[in-house]
Amino acid sequence: MRGLSLAGPAALLVLASLASLHVGPAKPGLPEIVAALLGGGDPAVEAIARYRLVRLLAAAAIGAGLAAAGAGMQFTLRNPLVDPYLLGVSSGASLGALVAVVFLGPSPWLIQLLAFLGAVSAYLVAVGVSGLAGLTGASLIVVGVAVGYLGYSGSVLLMNLYPDRIPFAFSWLLGTVAYTTLRDLEWLVPLTLASLIVLAVLVKRVEALSLGEERAESLGAGVRVTRLLVVSAASLAASSSAAVAGPIGFVGLAAPWLARLLGESRYSRVLVASLLWGALLVVAGDLAARQAAAPRELPLTPLMSLIGAPLLAYLAVRGKRGW
Amino acid sequence: MEGESRVLAAIALLALIVVGGLGVLYLKISDLERRYSEISGALEEQAARQERSVEELGATVGDLAGRLDELSRRLEELASGQEASRESVEELARQLAELRAQLDSLRAQVEAQGEAQADVAEQLAALEERLSLLEERLAGVEERLLFPVTVVDGSGDEVIVFERPERIVSIAPSATELIYYLNLLDRLVGVDDYSDWPPSVAEARERGEIASVGGFWSPSVEAILDLQPDLVVGVATAPPHHELKRVLEGYGIPVILLPAESIYDVAEAAVILGRATGQLVEGYTVSFKIKMAAGYALALLQGVEPVRAAAVVWVNPLFVVGSGNWEHEAMELAGMTNVYGDLEGWPQVSPESLLERAPEIIVMTGHNYGLTPDDLKSYLEEQLGDAANEIPAVAGDRIYLLGGDYENAFVRPSPRTVVSVYVLAVIAHPQAFGLTVEDIPRVVTPDNLDVVSLLEERGAPAELLDFLRVALQP
């Protein structure tokens, strides 16, 4: 199993990426798309080629970012159920983005900034409230889900109160990369990369954390500082993706679980495997979103839970692995 | 450090792939931008050429006159003895459109004379062909003067249309209807799944002659790109269409979002689309007719006391028509006072608010979704108990459901909307149309309430009746 834990998702990701360039409501297949991207093909196909590539890159970046955020949070908080969506961080980010759009205008950096602030606020509320009440484990998730509903309801409220100021499709509320542009990628990719690099640099400190807080302190890994940095990086990954594609559920929870169920346990390897699983899940989910009811577009979150929740339950039951 | 470096290596690899992909995209984009600068260069050149074009037009008309002189000489030879015709043809040399009419009448005469005039008929046909060529040339010159055109659409953005659009995609049923009114159906290549009027559009979509681009709320960008449209038309009141506009503009496709905040906006939309497509005359004509129809309703109901009314768009939960949209205005034009006029858009309201606001009439939509007036009644009784009967519209049994084309006319901001003004007027003020409250069916459709005939009896102008008949044709 361990040999496949990285090669497996990597190979599937390559296949899914090729499929997502190959398949869509329009006719052109992979050869025409690749030819158009390299400049040698039919110019009429070029727009479709560009569109599919933007969509693929957005899906991969969002998937990798959310998965890394989930893995980082799970190991830092030592809670296997944590993920940006379940903690309310993604919904907080979406609400922040909507507040920026409605009250401050469609400036990309303000949208990103308020999304990040929304994400961090949601985290602080969820963890703060449960910390005051001394809640851990699944109880933390209950608070997180409540915070998430708050953010989600706020977004729905804004969309209803200011429909004329919202330039997003309604499917944005349930996550979609169908309306992503190159300008969106200019923000999404650097911010996701930044958060991934921060998470990578902190790998050793987080691994020390899992040995127990005392050990970690003695190794020089300040627990509070590490937690703050990891959560900030995870919030950045979640907020940059939510600002572009809305809140997308399930990825941050499922990707690290898939990595672990295939035999990984060390944080560094789970993180790498999660990146691949996350990208794979969103790329494959987006394939279904565009094709299942083509030419209609479906939102991602319901589709992702449709494919992922049963898979997760099955693997969790069968694996019977503890934390 | 082993773990760290492995993760960093993986991220570097991912970054390399993503950056590579982005590189390819940016190469494509720079190519697009180069083409844009070429186009805008050509645009400036064209602007400088505008005046020369006017001169050219003059020269072309002079040229035309010369050719038509020749035509008339030939006609003189061919149809000798027809003095009146020759004179007419000489006059038509100055006006192309009239020549066409003259040629048609000549042909009719020749046909009436049968085989004897076969050679004349042949030569007439040749003349007609030449005339068509001249008309085309004139259209070409006009077109150069009309495009590029800048219009301000319903989102307040300036949209530049470089050339006469030949491949139009509509992503809203109301936009499709307006496209029909502007005689643009032959240029329509794609529609959303809800565009079902005129029926020929729905049939063409089912036959695959017009492509489907998905739903009104979530159209597929890829399906639209696949059609290579040179104009996409949506509505400004649909938030997803703003998002779609942002995306499609990145691919150099102009997107016009039609304004729909009032019936006058709908009239304005006809002018905007007419200017953007070169159908100026059609655009202004439709706009004028919409305003005429609205104005006549006002005149017809002058002195009639407005009735308090609510329009329910969904029952459970209760959504109603607020102000700031064409439906509110249709109600007001029909002699109704919208009891929810102080709220914006289509607000969700509580059943109790109906007690307080006391509408005498409730109009419902949702026939297409299987709703009935009884659904609303039983919902209100469920929610309010016996108090439901304190709502005047419930007590007086004046809850009406708009059905068929009457519903579509009300819920879509298109030229057909004016039909709903008169339907609502008959519902609200049956006595003004020589009817009683008992004459109004509970589910109002074109089959059981013929609004056009009622207006005809009231002596409405023929122009208005024709406009309404077009809107209700099957």
DSSP A95-133: HHHHHIIIII-S-HHHHHHHHHHHHHHHHHHHHHHHHHT
The neighbouring-strand residues paired with B168 are B188, B231
Q: Do B225 and A199 touch (CB under 8 A)?
A: no
Tell me the H-state helices in B168-262: 173-181, 199-207, 221-226, 239-249
Question: Is residue A42 scored above 60 in pLDDT?
Answer: yes
* Residue A76, amino acid: T
Expressed in angstroms, the distance from the first to the final Cα of chain A is 18
Chains A, B: CB contacts within 8 A come to 158
Q: How many angstroms separate the CA atoms of B331 and B112, rounded?
A: 55
Contact residues, A window 69-108, toward B, CB-based 8 Å cutoff: none
String of DSSP letters for A270-287:
HHHHHHHHHHHHHHHHHH
CB contacts of A167 in chain B (<8 Å) are 239, 242-243, 246
Distance, C-alpha B22 to centroid of its chain? 39
Residue type, B121: A
Nearest in space to A174 (alpha carbons), one of A65, A68, A289: A289
The Cα-based distances of A21 to A24, A27, A129, A175, B229 in angstroms read: 8, 11, 45, 20, 22
Biggest CA pair distance of chain B: 108
Residue contact B219–A297, C-beta within 8 A: yes
Tens-of-pLDDT digits for all 474 residues of chain B? 466 777 777 788 777 777 787 777 777 667 666 666 666 666 566 556 554 544 554 454 455 446 556 655 554 554 444 444 333 333 333 345 555 655 665 566 566 555 555 666 666 676 677 667 666 655 555 555 577 788 899 988 888 888 889 999 999 999 999 999 999 999 999 999 999 889 999 999 999 899 999 888 888 999 999 999 999 999 998 888 988 998 998 888 999 999 988 898 999 999 999 989 988 778 888 988 898 888 888 888 888 899 999 999 988 889 999 998 899 999 999 999 999 999 988 888 999 999 999 999 999 998 877 888 888 999 999 999 888 899 999 999 999 999 889 999 999 999 999 999 999 999 999 998 989 999 999 999 999 999 999 999 988 888 889 999 999 987
Number of H helices and E strands in chain B, helices first, is 18, 13
Residues 6 or more apart from A168 whose CB is under 8 A from it?
A: A98, A101, A159, A179, A246, B239, B240, B243
Query: How many residues does this entry show for chain A?
Result: 323
Q: Using the beta-carbon criterion (under 8 Å), do A295 and B222 form an inter-chain contact?
A: yes
Q: Work out the average pLDDT over A304-319.
A: 65
- Mutation target vs A (from B226, B348, B349; most A CBs, 10 A cutoff): B226
Contact A275 B10 (CB under 8 A): yes
- Name the residue among B3, B18, B236 with its Cβ closest to that of A266: B3
Q: Going by C-beta distance under 8 Å and a sequence separation of 6 or more, which residues neighbour residue B114?
A: none
Q: How many residues does chain B have?
A: 474
A56 vs B: CB within 8 A:
yes
Least CB-CB distance to B239: which of A37, A52, A168?
A: A168
Cβ–Cβ gap B222/A171 under 8 Å: no
Which residues on A lie below 8 Å from B10 (Cβ)?
272, 275
Axis crossing angle, helix A4-22 with helix A251-261, rounded to the nearest 10: 140
Mean pLDDT of A150-171: 78
pLDDT of residue B105: 58
CATH architecture of B149-292: 3-Layer(aba) Sandwich (3.40)
Using CA atoms, how far apart are residues A77 and A79, in angstroms rounded to an integer? 5
Distance CA A294, CA A291 (A): 5
Please judge whether B246 and A179 are an interchain contact, meaning their C-beta atoms are less than 8 angstroms apart.
Answer: yes
Sign of CA dihedral B404, B409, B410, B411: positive
Per-residue model confidence (pLDDT) at position B418: 93
Least confident of A70-79, A269-278, B25-34, B143-152: B25-34
Residues of A in contact with B319 (CB under 8 A): none
A127 phi/psi in degrees, rounded to 5: -75, -35
CB atoms within 10 A of CB A200: 26
pLDDT for position A213: 65
CA closest to A51 among chain B residues: B222
Q: A1 to chain B, minimum CA–CA distance in Å?
A: 20
CB within 8 Å: A182 and B29: yes
pLDDT above 90 covers a percentage of chain A that reads: 32
φ, ψ for residue A83, nearest 5 deg? -160, 155
- What's the fold here for domain B304-472? Rossmann fold (3.40.50)
Contacts of A197 in chain B (CB under 8 A): 8, 11
The answer, for A157 touching chain B at a CB cutoff of 8 Å, is no
A268 and B221: CB-CB below 8 Å? no
Residue of B nearest to A204 (CA): B4
**In this predicted structure, what is the pLDDT of residue B224?**
94
Residue in A107, A100, A73 with CA at minimum distance from that of residue A87: A73
**Nearest alpha carbon to residue B300 among B335, B326, B273:** B335
A37, A170, A204: residue with CB nearest B1: A204
Q: Which residues have C-beta within 8 Å of that of residue B185, sequence separation ≥ 6?
A: B179, B198, B200, B201
CB contact under 8 A, A169 and B247: no
Beta bridge partners of B320: B312
Other CB atoms within a 10 A radius of the CB of residue B81 amount to 7
Rounded to a whole number of angstroms, the distance from the CA of B215 to the nearest CA of chain A is: 6
pLDDT value, residue B77: 53
Which residues neighbour B301 within 8 Å (Cβ) at sequence distance 6 or greater?
Answer: B334, B335, B425, B429, B432
Contacts of A180 in chain B (CB under 8 A): 247
> Which chain A residues have a beta carbon less than 8 Å from that of B27?
39
Q: Measure the CA–CA gap between B250 and B459, rounded to whole angstroms.
A: 53
Q: Which of A53, A179, A207 has the CB atom closest to B25's CB atom?
A: A53
Q: Does A204 touch chain B (CB under 8 A)?
A: yes
For residues B341 and B328, the answer to whether their CB atoms sit within 8 Å is yes
pLDDT the model gives residue B53 = 46
Closest CB from A26, A189, A271 relative to B22: A189
The answer to whether residues A98 and A161 touch, using CB atoms and an 8 Å cutoff, is no
Give φ, ψ of A106 to 5 degrees. -85, 55
Domain region containing A259:
4-319
Among B33, B227, B243, the strongest candidate for a mutation testing the A interface, having the largest count of A CBs within 10 A, is B243
Cis peptide before B415 (omega within 30 of 0): no
Contacts of A181 in chain B (CB under 8 A): 246-247, 250
Other Cβ atoms less than 10 A from the Cβ of B196: the count is: 16
The answer to whether the B149-292 and B304-472 domains have the same CATH topology is yes
3-state secondary structure of B273: helix
Instruction: Indicate the number of domains in chain A.
Output: 1
CA–CA distance, A211 with A219 (Å, rounded to integer): 10
Q: Which residues of B touch A295 (CB under 8 A)?
A: 212-214, 219-220, 222-223
Cβ pair B24:A37 closer than 8 A: yes
Going by the DSSP 8-state scheme, the letter that residue B443 receives in this structure is E
Q: Specify the amino acid at residue A37.
A: L
Residue of B nearest to A193 (CA): B15
For residues A18, A21, A22, A27, the Cα torsion angle rounded to the nearest 10 degrees is 180
User: Chain A 205-224, CB below 8 Å of chain B: which residues?
Assistant: 207
Euclidean distance between CA atoms A314 and A306, whole angstroms:
13
Q: Are B185 and B200 in contact (CB under 8 A)?
A: yes
* Of B295, B466, B311, residue with least CA distance to B393: B311
pLDDT digits (tens, 9 = 90+) for A206-232: 888 777 666 666 666 577 888 889 999
Handedness of CA B299, B304, B305, B311 (dihedral sign): negative
Confidence of residue A52 (pLDDT cuts 50, 70, 90): very high
Q: 3-class DSSP state for residue B158?
A: strand
Q: Where are the domains of chain B?
A: 47-146, 149-292, 304-472
Q: How far is CA B459 from the centre of its chain?
A: 28
Element containing residue B234 per DSSP (H, E): strand B231-235
Please tell me the predicted confidence (pLDDT) of residue B282: 82
Residues from chain B contacting residue A170 (CB–CB below 8 Å): 217-218, 239-240
Among A176, A165, A170, A199, which Cα is nearest to A275's? A199
Least confident of A125-134, A279-288, B91-100, B371-380: B91-100
For B311, other C-beta atoms within 10 Å of its C-beta total 27
Distance from CA of A159 to the nearest CA of B (A): 9
Q: Tell me the three-class secondary structure of A216-248, residue by residue.
A: HHHCCCCHHHHHHHHHHHHHHHHHHHHHHHCCC
CB contact under 8 A, A26 and B10: no
Give the 3-state secondary structure of residue A54. Answer: helix
Residue A57: is its pLDDT beyond 60? yes
The helix (run of H) or strand (run of E) holding residue B191 is strand B188-191
- With beta carbons under 8 A apart, name residues in chain A contacting B8: 197, 200-201
A296 and B25 in contact by Cβ < 8 A?
Answer: no
Joined tokens for residue B242? 């703003």
Helix (H), strand (E), coil (C) string for A60-89: HHHHHHHHHHHHHHHHHHCCCCCCCCCCCH
A134: buried, middle or exposed (CB in 10 Å: 19+, 13-18, 0-12)?
A: exposed
Question: Are A60 and B7 a contacting pair at CB < 8 A?
Answer: no
DSSP bridge pairs for A158 = none
Q: What is the pLDDT of residue B370?
A: 82
